[in-house]
């Protein structure tokens, strides 16, 4: 289940984001992880979600248009201890449904070409590579 980010989630999200591995920090840096920045997300015009499954807080994700793009960009992370259990795929399906509900017809993402697990997940979920930007690749899925 995706729950839109609320004030009550900030302490726990902050805590999880402070404890990411070096590799996670290298692959996932959508915004700063300090408390002030997290608080500011509650007021901006993008969509941020906490991902729950059977009552447990499993990860964090978002879709953003940066106030101008027609196709939103997703970002996601599953907390380390919950990985390799299929949650990434569940999160992606829920994020796609949410994107459709918001009225968008496609979803994009940018992933480091060294992030083999991320790329594997996205390909499995039907995303296709469309272009390269330095050491990252852009992928898209028409919903």
Ligand X SMILES: CC(C)(COP(=O)(O)OP(=O)(O)OC[C@H]1O[C@@H](n2cnc3c(N)ncnc32)[C@H](O)[C@@H]1OP(=O)(O)O)[C@@H](O)C(=O)NCCC(=O)NCCS
Binding ligand X by CB under 6 A: which of 5, 9, 13, 28?
28
Q: Which residue is nearest to ligand X (CB)?
A: 88
Please, which residue, 7 or 84, has the CB nearer to ligand X? 84
- Cβ distance 52 to 62 under 8 Å? no
| Closest to 23 (Cα-Cα) out of 94, 77, 70 | 77
**How far is Cα 36 from Cα 28, in angstroms, rounded to an integer?**
18
**How far is Cα 91 from Cα 7, in angstroms, rounded to an integer?**
21
| Site for ligand X, residues 41 to 100, rule: CB under 6 A | 76-78, 83-89
27: contact with ligand X by CB under 6 A: yes
Strand intervals (E) in the chain: 2-4, 47-53, 56-64, 73-78, 106-112, 128-133, 136-142
Binding ligand X by CB under 6 A: which of 9, 51, 118, 137?
118
Binding ligand X by CB under 6 A: which of 5, 17, 107, 111?
111
120: contact with ligand X by CB under 6 A: yes
Instruction: Please state the closest distance from residue 50 (CB atom) to ligand X, in A.
Output: 14
125: contact with ligand X by CB under 6 A: no
């Amino acid at each position: 289940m995706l729950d839109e980010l609320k004030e009550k989630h900030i302490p726990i999200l902050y805590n999880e984001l402070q404890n990411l591995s070096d590799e996670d920090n290298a692959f996932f840096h959508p915004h700063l992880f300090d408390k002030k920045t997290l608080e500011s997300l509650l007021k901006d015009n993008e969509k941020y979600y906490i991902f729950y499954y059977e009552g447990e807080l499993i990860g964090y994700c978002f879709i953003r248009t940066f106030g101008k793009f027609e196709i939103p960009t997703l970002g996601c992370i599953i907390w380390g201890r919950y990985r390799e259990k299929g949650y990434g795929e569940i999160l992606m399906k829920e994020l796609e449904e949410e994107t459709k509900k918001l009225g968008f017809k496609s979803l994009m993402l940018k992933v480091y070409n060294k992030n083999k697990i991320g790329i594997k997940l996205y390909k499995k979920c039907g995303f296709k590579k469309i272009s390269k930007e330095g050491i990252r690749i852009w992928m898209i899925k028409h919903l």
